[in-house]
Structure 1
Amino acid sequence: MESYFTKDPNLLYFNSANLSICPDSVINAIVNYRLEFEQNPTEGLKTSWAKLWEVQASLALFLGADPKDLLLKTNMTEALNAFILGYPLIRGDEILVGELEYGAIANICRYRAERDFLKLRVLQLPQSQIAFSTLTQEKLEQEIISQISSKTKMIVLSHVIASTGLKIPIEKIAAVTRKHKIALIIDGAYVAGAIALNFKELGDIDFYACSLYKWLLGPKGTAFGWVNPIHHETLIPLQAGWTTFNSSGSLAEFGEGSRFQQKFQPLGCRDVSPFFAIKELLAFWNTLGIHNIQKRMAALNSFFQQEMKRGLGWSSLLADDPKLQGPMSIFRIPDKLQPRGPELETLMLSQLNIQLHFTVLKSGWYAVFSPHIYNNEQEITLVINRIKKYLYS
């Protein structure tokens, strides 16, 4: 599978959870679509809407969704802005946001609360190996549900926690939030590509956002939001433009005439070539086989866990319950290296040619390894040997 990618032979790249390397076929498609567009930019823009709808329909089929429920966005933060800021709330309502939510998303929640005089409360989540060792799916569900109050009207929660790799059982939580008319907004940044994602099986969630350029190997600047159809009429657009009140020409045909789709389209001219290349991305996954790709990713992740324990002895942050295990390998840095935590990411790249991600929790600094199908076991062994030689010699 490595042959489908062009890699820097001197770099050991293990930060796929945040930014993955595109397959060559996808990169070539982006370039070709851009060149084609520039042959006649005027006609290119006019015809782009119909092509974008074809892409949206293909992506919806891949995700088990209705294309009329999807919104193509440049990144997940853009999609979550639309949901968190556009969902109707009244003064005094409470937003409950996950303790380890991505900083940009937590800031959206804070902004909404301060702007509209809402309450903002942090939902506590387990974040230590001690807590993970006794954690079950049922226990985690109850821990989350027990923190919902009578004032809670919106919950913003990650499907997979970026800093711990913990997979949240959102289906059961959604049943409770639907019963109490609470909007459940899911940050799914670390899911598509690594974990099976089918919107027919996610239960009664209200909103979902996901990047395509992380585990799914998609073009940079492509993402999507999903909106439960019960909110199509009530979600408030944050911007206005040509399609706000009515649409004409090719814009009127977008989304098969759906006013929801048209009102939430980005404004003005933009580079559509990365979005057009989503079709090549999906062809890549379907040709190699989703199961085959995810099986290889799981094997590399398992090998990383095994070799890190044997080679460095670093403590793994991994839930014992397989239902709660996310796709990343996360290890606590030993105590004697903790003071160097803030500098390790830069040091690893500059001194060892290793691209990793480091994160800090209550218990200290952690290294996050996220291998993908363009990696191999030899690279993993090399990473561990380089770290061992540099940090411990």
Structure 2
Amino acid sequence: MSTLSKRKFLKSMIGATSLPMMPWPDLTDLVGQVSHVSATELAQQEDFWTKVRASFPVTTDFIQLENGYYSLAAQPVLDNYLQHIQQVNAVSSYYMRTRQFNDKRESQAQLARLLGCSADELIITRNTTESLDTVIAGLNWKAGDEAVMAEQDYGAMLDMFRLQARRHGTVNRLVSLPNHPQSDAEIVSLYENAITPKTRLLMVCHMVNITGQILPIRQIVDMAHKHNVEVLVDGAHAFGHLAFTMADLGGCDYYASSLHKWLGTPLGAGILYVRKDKIPALWPLFADSSVPDDDIRKLNHTGTHPVATDLAIQDAIRFHEGIGIERKEARLRYLQRYWTDQVRHHPNIILNTPEAPARSCAIANVGITGKKPAELAKLLFDKYKIFTVAIESPTVRGVRVTPHLYTTTSELATFVRALKELAG
């Protein structure tokens, strides 16, 4: 190998196995200028958020109001992600055999710090569904065991519980959440009334995906634990969206989320938290004899997978922390209230999201009298170039509207105008 070739190889190898740790200068300077401003006040300062928007490769083809499914990564994160792909590819197996696992553990440790748990209680998965399925399928179910969940939970999870019922003879007990609860006690009682002596697991959404309703997780966990029932929390839309740690959730047993929604990681990463004392009893989906039963890594046998995504998690965390979760949550809640407050009392517009600010954040669901959700979503896109998603269920009929940090109030004003015109 020539001297030049060796230099190129070493440069590629070093590049693939190291990450810049300092925040991006432009973001640091921007946030530094408003460090004295409260999160609530800053949420309303359009000049600041217009500059934040410049960090995102936002489409100009339509107004993107469906960020809850998958939100684009910020441009600095995307640039680093593409660089990771190139650098890992340059040394291929060398990276996979020498650095892959250490780098993934670093990403895992940073995620655990954000969530407020030990790094040996958290693994990186592909998404929330995989994380929740790992728990649901990993419990040692017996015929007659019961699980409690809500009909508003994510459909794939309800399917997984149905599969356990077919396979093991378990019983699923469904509750139905009110769109406009009067109190936390109402929600807690709803779940408690479904618990019986045979109940083993209660699954609950931190934030209901179809309406954006935030549920009182700590109170639900405390109640369930009094009945010796484990709690699995679907946090798909909460992590990177709301300011919280595991301590705020009352010691829930399992927590799952996706990182491509609100943390801003490229597609292909999620997290699963398992409380330390719950790890030994869980069966892994894929066997790995090299890991003991009390080590959470036994649940994380992925085989060969796209490692650039694991590296990009660290970039997404740097961008996320550069803005700050309190500022982020305040802005997201402000954007939702900006449009919902303007249409909430319209006679032909139906909001399926609670009015109390603490019960929702970015996500809300809206319908129009006489229009099916699919029809409304189509009209919004065809006539106004506004992209949403139709939701039709027994209790929720409307479109889910999910702005993000790069959404402007002028875009939401267009949305409000569209709703009022379509509502007559």
Q: TM-score, normalised by structure 1?
A: 0.88
For residue 350 of structure 1, report the CA deviation from its aligned partner.
4.1
Distance 1:384 1:320 in 2: 17
> Which segment drifts farther, 303-312 or 372-381?
303-312
For residue 167 of structure 1, report the CA deviation from its aligned partner.
1.4
> Which of 103, 108, 121 is the aligned partner of 2:173?
121
Amino acid at match of 1:21: L
Matched, 1:288 2:320: no
Retained in 2: the 8 A contact 1:135–1:319? Answer: no
Matched, 1:383 2:418: no
Identical residues among aligned pairs (%): 23
Q: Which residue of structure 1 aligns with residue 94 of structure 2?
A: 43
Retained in 2: the 8 A contact 1:136–1:321? Answer: no
Retained in 1: the 8 A contact 2:332–2:361? Answer: no
Matched, 1:344 2:376: yes
Matched, 1:29 2:70: no
Which secondary structure does the structure 2 equivalent of 1:122 belong to?
strand
Q: Which residue of structure 2 aligns with residue 251 of structure 1?
A: none
Task: Report Cα offsets for 1:323-367 as digits up to 9, x if no partner.
Answer: 433431222222x223xx334334433443211122123356212
Q: Which residue of structure 2 aligns with residue 246 of structure 1?
A: 290
Amino acid at match of 1:118: T
> Which of 13, 19, 44 is the aligned partner of 2:64?
13
Distance 2:248 2:419 in 1: 41
* Cα separation, partners in 2 of 1:309 and 1:178, compared to 1, 3 Å: closer
Which secondary structure does the structure 2 equivalent of 1:185 belong to?
strand
For residue 261 of structure 1, report the CA deviation from its aligned partner.
3.3
Distance 1:311 1:16 in 2: 25
Gaps of 5+ in 2: 1-51
Distance 1:175 1:309 in 2: 34
For residue 178 of structure 1, report the CA deviation from its aligned partner.
2.0
Matched, 1:112 2:164: yes
Which secondary structure does the structure 1 equivalent of 2:246 belong to?
coil
Q: Which residue of structure 1 aligns with residue 120 of structure 2?
A: 68
Count of aligned residue pairs for this structure pair:
372
Q: CA RMSD in A?
A: 2.2
> Which segment drifts farther, 157-166 or 309-318?
309-318
Once the two structures are superposed, the pairs formed by residues 130-279 of structure 1 within 5 Å of their partners are 132=180, 135-240=182-287, 244-246=288-290, 260-279=295-314
Retained in 1: the 8 A contact 2:188–2:223? Answer: no
Distance 2:313 2:273 in 1: 17
> Which of 358, 363, 368 is the aligned partner of 1:328?
363
Task: Report Cα offsets for 1:126-174 as digits up to 9, x if no partner.
Answer: 13xxxx2x61112221222122111111111211112222211121221
Retained in 1: the 8 A contact 2:343–2:416? Answer: yes
For residue 313 of structure 1, report the CA deviation from its aligned partner.
5.7
Which secondary structure does the structure 2 equivalent of 1:217 belong to?
coil
Once the two structures are superposed, the pairs formed by residues 65-104 of structure 1 within 5 Å of their partners are 65-104=117-156
Amino acid at match of 2:100: S
Bigger RCO of structures 1 and 2 (CA < 8 A, at least 6 apart): 1
Distance 2:395 2:107 in 1: 44
Retained in 2: the 8 A contact 1:70–1:225? Answer: yes
Q: Which residue of structure 1 aligns with residue 354 of structure 2?
A: 319
Retained in 1: the 8 A contact 2:368–2:423? Answer: no
Task: Report Cα offsets for 1:59-101 as digits up to 9, x if no partner.
Answer: 1111111111111011111011100010122211111121211
Distance 1:75 1:202 in 2: 21
> Which of 389, 392, 396 is the aligned partner of 1:357?
389
* Cα separation, partners in 2 of 1:62 and 1:126, compared to 1, 3 Å: same
Amino acid at match of 1:56: Q
Which secondary structure does the structure 2 equivalent of 1:39 belong to?
helix
Which secondary structure does the structure 2 equivalent of 1:52 belong to?
helix
Q: TM-score, normalised by structure 2?
A: 0.82
